[in-house]
Structure 1
Amino acid sequence: MTVARRDVDGTQCGSTANEALTPAPLGQRLRSALNMGGRRKLYLAPLLASTIFSASIVVAQVRADAEADLDPADWTEKEVGIPVTDALTIEKCGSCHVPDDKGNLSRISWIRATPEGWSQAIKRMVKLNGLSITPQEARSVVKYLGTWHGLAPEEAKPVMYLTEHRIQDETIIPNETVHTACASCHAFAQPMSSRRSHREWGLLQNMHKALYPQAEVQMGHPAAEQPAGASPSAKPVTTGEVALAWLSKEADLHSKAWTDWRPRIRTPKLAGKWVISGKLRGQGRFVGEMTIAPASDDFATTTTLRSLDTGKTMSRSGKGLVYAGYSWRGTSISGSKPAKPDDLATPLRETMWFSPDQSSAEGRWYWGEYQEFGLDVKMTRATGGPVLAAVSPLGVKTGTKGAQLHIYGADLPSGMAAGDLDIGDGVTVRQVSVLSPGEAVATVDVAPDAIVGLHDVALNGVVLAKALPVYDTVDYMKVSPETALAHLGGIKYGKGYEQFEAMAWSKGPDGKPGTDDDFPIMPVDANWAMKEFPTVTYDNDVKFVGQLDASGFFTPNVEGPNPERRFSRNNYGEVWIVATAKTLKDKEGKPLTGQAYLVTTVPAYKRWDQPEVSQ
């Protein structure tokens, strides 16, 4: 006998006498969900196109629906579902998510999500609804759903920063109303990492209202923009209605991208050699190779990296798996004990996006208590022909003669001649010496009137885009990250560090700093210092937040009350991080300077995938 009930998010849940699927009481679940102390706000920036969705369109779309005033749980699902065909998924999910005669499972067939999204859903089902599933079974279910109920490459790429654990400013959101509804508590990439039917977006709003009291208040507020000419007595359009209409249109279940991608999904064939170029803030650039070999349903990897700054070489071994034919999740170890927090010898987690044709990849290999350290990587498949990965040093000045450029890659032809290389108008290649199949040295002259900007480097049709900055003057210096976050720790909790870097910039052809044609030239050797960010008169944060070393590496202070501080406050605070160039000077002969804003805050006392399923 099966007893069905409706869960708080609209799921039809059931349990049989033979299955121990008794869910926790609603009150207990809500108490768990509301135990959200220590929330860490992430400032993350999507690479999403901004779409303005006017309130008048929202009204027309939302309120024309006869079911608009009903609870979404009572709406009729009108969209075609995506059938579930995996036997294990049906076995584990089908007792609660009722199947229909078309092979759809309720709820599941009307959602697409990233592997992380499906993993969170399974954790929620275990914690709140009594799902019994082993780690291996969960892994298999996530792999199936992340592939056949996942995102198309074009949908996933703009929000990969979320799974790459990048901390960035999140500024490009469609409008303030959607920001209030969807990005007040988490990154906007969180909702944009899934695609749902109109009813499913409504049910997701229901879940938020049930678990988080503030969500109902936020979504019930009148939207910032109301229809022009609306009657004063008309019911105002709410923030939740605007967000629901926008998501239903811009993050719909059956997008063209998914329709095009679904028939193209295939087993990834990634075995072979891949050429790597990477950059780690504060430690410069790296080149290397990764060899990928099949291993059961996963891949085994062997990686070699070489620092272009120090020449040091390191080796790693690891494993990875691919979802949906393009989305890599992996780990690797070096076999060496890390000597410091930012040491690349540390075990790494790898998140990469492979191009649909499986010829290239890009992503982030990260580590740290707060995933604050990360190697930004690009990989190109080696197929026997020449591959270009990097050029060093960065930045050549107009009018320079006899500059030595090291070109790194793979399978570089031993007979490479000067005429085989093309670095754009105004850059003349005089001579080429091939040191190995992975490195060549080109001697170049740069004309005084060479076009400034990022030049391509081309080898007989193989192009490394925007690889060489050509500049006439260094116009200003910028410190990155411009806005940074560090966490106190070291007694009971781990520290959250931050590495700063100074870069020289050109203001580009338009001669105006801060415009789209500005481009970075090269790293700058600088002196580092902290300066007070004034908030209240007795702060003196510079004395308490932590230490900044000569390389721009910030180590936060310990957590906990400090009796040496006024009111025995914690060592949190706000400071400016100031870089002063050692040799580069401005037009007045003064050293170039730049600064960044650093917030040092308390530890994240609690970690979670989603608050309602955390321990």
Structure 2
Amino acid sequence: MLGLFSASVVMAQANKPVATTADGDKAAVESEDGIPVTDRLTIEKCGACHQQDEKGNMSRISWARTTPEGWSQAIKRMVRLNGLEITPDESRAVVKYLSTWHGLAPEEARPVMYLPEKRIVDEALIPNDSVRQACAACHAFAQPMSWRRSKTEWKLLQDLHVALYSQAEAQYRRPADPQPGAAPSAPGTPPVTNGQLALEFMQKAAPLHTVEWGNWRPRIRTPYLAGKWLVSAHLPGRGDYVGELTVAPGKSADEFVTGATLRSLSTGETLTRAGTGLVYGGYSWRGRSKGATPGAAPDDPNRETRETMWFAPDQKSGEGRWFWGEYNEFGFDVALTRAGTEPAILGVGPVLLKAGAKGAQVRIVGANLPSDLKPAEISLGEGVTVTRIVSASAGEAVVTADVAANAVPGRHDIGIRGATLAQALPVYAAIDYLKVVPETGLARLGGVKHPKGYGQFEALGYGNGADGKPGTPDDVKIGPVDVTWSIDEFMAVYNDDDKDFVGALSANALFTPASEGPNPNRRFGRNNYGEVWVVATAKTEKDKFGQPLTGRAYLVVTVPAYQRWDQPEVSQ
């Protein structure tokens, strides 16, 4: 079992102590304590190449920790490059063991969950352009940040990249940009390279032994997730949902059977879903579920989804994404809270409260809510006064409220007898600008020989905040705004008219790309790829000049992904 840990690409390193292995290869000697491997199957499958020492450490494996996806990727590489023979069931068992006892602590995994959740995000983890060029030119930076390694292992990983990928050496050897405030190098000093800076950063930012892992390792236990969970979810293009998730024990202690009921706060539509889940490391959920009658529409929320969720160490809350689509472009953003007997607030009906409004109706959805509510028992934040209880039941309270002219703008907390939903109720004086999200989108042509990759957009209203300037950290996210949608030309190539060929945008901002392949109706018979603006125009909100507010997002429509990498076997 070699590959990611292959001795065939591990050469003696300058300034590193080395030892000779049984087959005569040179390998770097570890100076850090390893994590012993105790699983019989892992030892059996990996031990032929990864020798075990007197402490139970297996070479290479004992000095690395990662996610289920990381270990699955490593095993695939062993099979591909080094002839490892392992069955799917054996592979899953090894991944389960390594993800638990050679995995990440929940606090280490949470910042990089967007990678297994298949989100497209602007990565905030990258410290500078040198590290970006060295580590994120070919894959997400969350890929290396999903690992913890000894210093020696981080250096060997760089060597592996140089051995396997021709472009890696050029990336690593490229001189780094001068760091802000750094003194100039002395004449004749070799330039610091991107590879050096990246290695130093990873050795410090993602070491093998951390406080988080030290605290988590003795707490690892069998997940106890069976029971009822309260669900708050958002589906771009369709709005907010609330409901319940029932989790029942499955075939083994870390496998579960699920049933969910979700209700749209916008339309009242009810969805029912059934599925299964598998938990790695006591907290990391991978599963699948589908609706009772999955439809044919690409954005149908009843379609089969993959589920990736992170559960808090106390197993009282969880969060994640239930996603689908050929490019994982559709998905619910999900938050879970373990159901109890106390009141809980899950969401608020689609409402934006404007300063000075009188008699505004607010629908609060939850569980175990008191039916004998009085106006004074409901808090909607400073400047918002509940004037009347329209109706109250265990699942919903409808109230009317007055908003003071000087009410504090922002997203207010909602409170009912000790239950709180933070930052749930938007209060605003004015909508100053629109933001179309995602601000940068990617769609892929298809429909003939390859599947289409769709794009889903939303228009959100924002207030400028205390500084009066748009696009600054104190801006107030108000919420969805009623808009009309259109596509406009992005002026990249003269006279290419991309907007006429790339695809179409629906009334709810679902972009459907055109077909792949040459188009005889297009100049030079080109493919339907191109770059466009996705434009939202507010129906009622105006700017200071009396013109409708507008916002736009940049969309690239490109060719199909002809080759893809994935680890679906990690999921149920």
Shorter-chain TM-score tier: over 0.9
Match of 2:570 in 1: none
Match of 2:312 in 1: 355
Match of 1:108 in 2: 61
Query: What letter is aligned with 2:331?
Result: G
Match of 2:228 in 1: 273
Identify which of 176, 195, 212 aligns with 1:223: 176
SS in 2 for 1:260: helix
Confirm or deny: 8 A CA contact 2:460 2:477 kept in the other structure. yes
Match of 1:17 in 2: none
Please say if 1:493 is aligned against 2:450: yes
Percent identity, aligned pairs only? 59
Match of 2:117 in 1: 164
Q: How far apart are 1:134 and its partner, in Å? A: 1.3
Confirm or deny: 8 A CA contact 1:284 1:308 kept in the other structure. yes
How many angstroms apart in 2 are the aligned matches of 1:253 and 1:157? 17
Match of 2:196 in 1: 241
- Residues matched between the structures, number: 556
Q: How far apart are 1:70 and its partner, in Å? A: 12
How many angstroms apart in 2 are the aligned matches of 1:596 and 1:68? 53
SS in 2 for 1:538: coil
1:255-266 alignment, distance < 5 Å: 255-266=210-221
Please say if 1:122 is aligned against 2:75: yes
How many angstroms apart in 2 are the aligned matches of 1:254 and 1:306? 44
Could you say if the C-alpha distance between residues 500 and 567 of structure 1 is closer, same or farther in structure 2, counting changes exceeding 3 Å? same
Q: How far apart are 1:339 and its partner, in Å? A: 3.3
SS in 1 for 2:163: helix
Deviation string, structure 1 residues 69-128 (Cα, Å, up to 9, x no partner): 999964321110011111111111112111111111111110000100001011111111
How many angstroms apart in 1 are the aligned matches of 2:366 and 2:449? 45
Q: How far apart are 1:331 and its partner, in Å? A: 0.5
How many angstroms apart in 2 are the aligned matches of 1:73 and 1:281? 53
Q: CA RMSD in A?
A: 2.1
Q: How far apart are 1:229 and its partner, in Å? A: 4.9
Q: Report which structure shows greater RCO (CA 8 Å, sep ≥6).
A: 1
SS in 2 for 1:534: coil
Q: How far apart are 1:394 and its partner, in Å? A: 3.1
Match of 1:389 in 2: 346
Match of 2:6 in 1: 11
Deviation string, structure 1 residues 280-322 (Cα, Å, up to 9, x no partner): 1111111110001111220110100111111110101011111
Identify which of 418, 440, 443 aligns with 1:461: 418
Confirm or deny: 8 A CA contact 2:409 2:476 kept in the other structure. no
Match of 1:185 in 2: 138
Q: How far apart are 1:324 and its partner, in Å? A: 1.6
How many angstroms apart in 2 are the aligned matches of 1:105 and 1:163? 27
How many angstroms apart in 1 are the aligned matches of 2:540 and 2:333? 28
Query: What letter is aligned with 1:476?
Result: Y
Q: How far apart are 1:337 and its partner, in Å? A: 2.9
Identify which of 186, 210, 232 aligns with 2:187: 232
Deviation string, structure 1 residues 220-242 (Cα, Å, up to 9, x no partner): 22222377353322232222111
Match of 2:90 in 1: 137
**Gap regions ≥5 residues in structure 2:** 568-572
Could you say if the C-alpha distance between residues 103 and 580 of structure 1 is closer, same or farther in structure 2, counting changes exceeding 3 Å? same
Match of 1:32 in 2: none
Please say if 1:212 is aligned against 2:165: yes
Match of 2:490 in 1: 533
Could you say if the C-alpha distance between residues 474 and 11 of structure 1 is closer, same or farther in structure 2, counting changes exceeding 3 Å? same
Q: How far apart are 1:434 and its partner, in Å? A: 4.8
Q: Which moved more, 1:583-592 or 1:540-549?
A: 583-592
1:38-187 alignment, distance < 5 Å: 66-67=15-16, 74-170=27-123, 172-187=125-140
Q: How far apart are 1:207 and its partner, in Å? A: 1.3
Deviation string, structure 1 residues 444-463 (Cα, Å, up to 9, x no partner): 22111111111111122222
Query: What letter is aligned with 1:420?
Result: E
Identify which of 349, 360, 377 aligns with 2:334: 377
How many angstroms apart in 1 are the aligned matches of 2:244 and 2:113? 23
Match of 2:288 in 1: 331
Deviation string, structure 1 residues 252-283 (Cα, Å, up to 9, x no partner): 00011111111111111111111111111111
Q: How far apart are 1:8 and its partner, in Å? A: 7.4
Identify which of 466, 477, 480 aligns with 1:520: 477
Confirm or deny: 8 A CA contact 1:8 1:206 kept in the other structure. no
Confirm or deny: 8 A CA contact 1:452 1:509 kept in the other structure. no
Please say if 1:406 is aligned against 2:363: yes
SS in 2 for 1:416: coil
Please say if 1:287 is aligned against 2:242: yes
Confirm or deny: 8 A CA contact 1:12 1:106 kept in the other structure. no
How many angstroms apart in 1 are the aligned matches of 2:476 and 2:221? 39
Match of 1:503 in 2: 460
Confirm or deny: 8 A CA contact 2:542 2:549 kept in the other structure. yes
Query: What letter is aligned with 1:345?
Result: N
Q: How far apart are 1:178 and its partner, in Å? A: 0.7
Could you say if the C-alpha distance between residues 361 and 510 of structure 1 is closer, same or farther in structure 2, counting changes exceeding 3 Å? same
Query: What letter is aligned with 1:266?
Result: R
How many angstroms apart in 2 are the aligned matches of 1:114 and 1:162? 10
Deviation string, structure 1 residues 354-384 (Cα, Å, up to 9, x no partner): 1111111111110001000011111111111
SS in 2 for 1:161: coil
Match of 1:478 in 2: 435
Please say if 1:343 is aligned against 2:300: yes
Match of 1:582 in 2: 539
Q: How far apart are 1:513 and its partner, in Å? A: 1.3
